[in-house]
Structure 1
Amino acid sequence: MQPATITIEAAAKAISSILDALDRDPTDPAAVALRAALRRKGTEIAGAGDGITLQNVHELVCGVGDDRNERRAAELDAAWRVLPGWQA
């Protein structure tokens, strides 16, 4: 059985949904589970090997330059800091 192909759009949509939930209440007890989901999704992206990189998804979800959402970037940086190949 082959792993499902991950598209950058699907990965960004999933991560955006998780970050939207964290936006509503970052202190909610469910926030721990949401942050774990960010790590799992990052691991899935990193292991996909089909041209999608964590950096590509990070930029799509968080923006770049003046459009960068620093809160979202900080959440992803914290969740992905342990992943191979991730550099904040």
Structure 2
Amino acid sequence: MTKPATTVIDGAAKAIDAILDSLERDPTDPAAAAFRAALRRKGSEIAEAGDGITLQNVHELVCGIGEDRNERRAAHLDAAWADLPGWRL
């Protein structure tokens, strides 16, 4: 049985938030490459569960929008998701 898209998206958003927290603590940590790969996997899960709009919504959820946007978080996600179907830079 396939999980509902909202379940996958909610879980992925929480995981992405935790991964970004880890990257922000120390982007030079040897585990940083694994964190970036995990961001990519979560983005792929979201893309499979939804579409480009869903990726954008999750991006805004974990990075903020407008004046509340966290540019470092956005840059990490943009790099990880650069060539995912439905993602835009």
Could you state the TM-score of these two structures normalised by the residue count of structure 2? 0.88
Aligned to 2:85: 84
- Alignment partner, residue 31 of structure 1: 32
Deviations 1:16-57 (A, max 9, x none): 00000101110111000000000000000000138x710000
What are the within-5 Å matches in structure 2 for residues 1-88 of structure 1? 2-7=1-6, 8-49=9-50, 53-88=54-89
Partner SS, residue 53 of structure 1: helix
- Aligned AA (1:21): S
Identify, as 1 or 2, the structure richer in helix: 2
How many residues align? The count is 87
Per the normalisation by structure 1, the TM-score is 0.89
Q: CA deviation at 1:59?
A: 0.3
Unaligned 5+ segments in structure 2 are none
Q: Structure 1: state its 5+ residue gaps.
A: none
The SS at the match of 1:19 is: helix
Aligned-residue offset at 1:12: 1.4
Sequence identity, in percent? 74
Give me the CA root mean square deviation: 1.8
